[in-house]
């Protein structure tokens, strides 16, 4: 059996490394080209007739998650996604509270207690000609 010289060994190691590098790069490229982000996330939610939400009502919409408020100012909506790290906040007597790290927000979504520093995000409400409410999360 012929003995492998140091030079031959290094050449083999280099070639092997180059082939492996090429294969990994090609695999990554194929994965990139085959990337499918899936269906777009829904950003508009039909909430039904506005008459379902009387003046003074505060309605939790956990499937969105959002909170719909009907006041003298009209309809407003807040995202229930905590602005700290994205947990879902729950409504309580003072406003909204996040169970993850203890942030709390007042009834208008303003921060009362951190670690969150930003208020809950306001969501856009559209009232159609036939008085249906559409909540937009984009
Ligand atoms: S995610 Fe709500 S306080 Fe951290």
Q: How high is the pLDDT of residue 138?
A: 85
Nearest alpha carbon to residue 88 among 113, 65, 68, 106: 65
Residues 44 and 104 in one domain: no
In short, whether 90's Cβ falls inside 6 Å of ligand 1 is: no
Residues 107 and 92 in one domain: yes
Residues 73 and 131 in one domain: yes
Residues 73 and 126 in one domain: yes
Q: How high is the pLDDT of residue 45?
A: 87
Q: How many domains does the chain have?
A: 3
Q: How high is the pLDDT of residue 38?
A: 78
What rounded mean pLDDT belongs to the chain? 89
Q: How far is CA 39 from the centre of its chain?
A: 15
Domain extent at residue 5 = 1-35
Q: What distance in angstroms lies between residue 80's CA and the mean position of ligand 1's atoms? A: 11
Residues 114 and 91 in one domain: yes
In short, whether 65's Cβ falls inside 6 Å of ligand 1 is: no
Residues 68 and 136 in one domain: yes
Residues 71 and 47 in one domain: yes
Q: How high is the pLDDT of residue 40?
A: 78
**Which residues of the chain fall short of a pLDDT of 70?**
1
Q: How high is the pLDDT of residue 78?
A: 94
Residues 75 and 90 in one domain: no
The tens digit of pLDDT for each residue in 103-122 reads 999 988 999 998 999 999 99
| Atom 1 of ligand 1, residue of closest alpha carbon | 85
Q: Give the per-residue SS3 of 51-120.
A: HHCCCCCEEEECCCCEEEEEECCEEEEEECECCCCCCECEEECCEEECCCCCCEECCCCCEEECCCCCCC
Q: Taking the complete model, does pTM exceed 0.85, yes or no? A: no
User: Distances in Å between the alpha carbon of 102 and those of 41, 56, 58?
Assistant: 29, 27, 22
Q: How high is the pLDDT of residue 83?
A: 95
Residues 72 and 95 in one domain: no
Residues 77 and 45 in one domain: yes
Beta bridge partners of 132: 49
Q: How high is the pLDDT of residue 1?
A: 62
């Amino acid at each position: 059996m012929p003995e492998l010289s140091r030079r031959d060994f290094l050449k083999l190691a280099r070639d092997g490394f180059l082939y492996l590098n090429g294969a990994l790069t090609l695999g990554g490229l194929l994965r990139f080209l085959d990337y499918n982000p899936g269906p777009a996330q829904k950003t508009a939610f039909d909430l039904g007739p506005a008459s379902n939400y009387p003046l003074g009502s505060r309605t939790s919409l956990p499937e969105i998650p959002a909170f719909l408020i009907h006041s003298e100012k009209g309809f407003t909506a807040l995202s229930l996604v905590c602005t700290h790290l994205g947990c879902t906040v729950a409504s309580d007597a003072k406003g909204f509270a996040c169970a993850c790290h203890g942030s709390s927000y007042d009834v208008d979504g303003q921060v009362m207690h951190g670690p969150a520093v930003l208020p809950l995000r306001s969501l856009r409400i559209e009232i159609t000609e036939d008085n249906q409410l559409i909540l937009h999360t984009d």
